[in-house]
C-alpha cells in the first residue's frame, strides 16, 4: 500500500473520530486527541511545502563568481 494512500485514510479516520467525539454522548474527551492529530498533520503539510519551496528557490539562484566573493 502506498504511503499517500495510508496517510489519506489515516487522516480521514482522524476526522471521523474527532467529529464522533463532538457529537456522541458516550465519547470521553470530546475527540481532543483526534483534533490534535489533524492539526499536527495540516501544520506538517504547510511546513513541508514551505521548506520544499525554499529549497527550490535556493537551488535556482545563480552562484556568485569566486573573483567577486
Q: How many CB atoms lie within 10 A of CB 50?
A: 10
Helix (H, G, I), strand (E, B) or coil at 22: helix
Q: What is the pTM of this model?
A: 0.69
Could you report the per-residue pLDDT of 25-41, keeping only the tens digit for each?
Answer: 676 666 788 889 999 99
How close are the terminal C-alpha atoms of the chain, in Å?
50
Helix (H, G, I), strand (E, B) or coil at 60: helix
> Is the Cβ–Cβ distance between 49 and 56 less than 8 Å?
no
The grid coordinates listed for 66 are: 569566486
Could you report the per-residue pLDDT of 45-66, keeping only the tens digit for each?
Answer: 999 999 998 887 777 766 666 6
Amino acid at each position: 500500500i502506498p504511503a499517500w494512500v495510508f496517510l489519506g485514510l489515516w487522516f480521514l479516520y482522524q476526522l471521523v473520530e474527532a467529529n464522533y467525539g463532538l457529537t456522541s454522548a458516550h465519547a470521553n474527551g470530546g475527540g481532543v486527541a483526534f483534533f490534535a492529530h489533524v492539526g499536527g498533520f495540516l501544520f506538517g503539510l504547510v511546513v513541508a511545502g514551505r521548506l520544499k519551496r525554499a529549497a527550490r528557490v535556493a537551488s535556482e539562484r545563480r552562484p556568485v563568481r569566486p573573483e567577486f566573493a
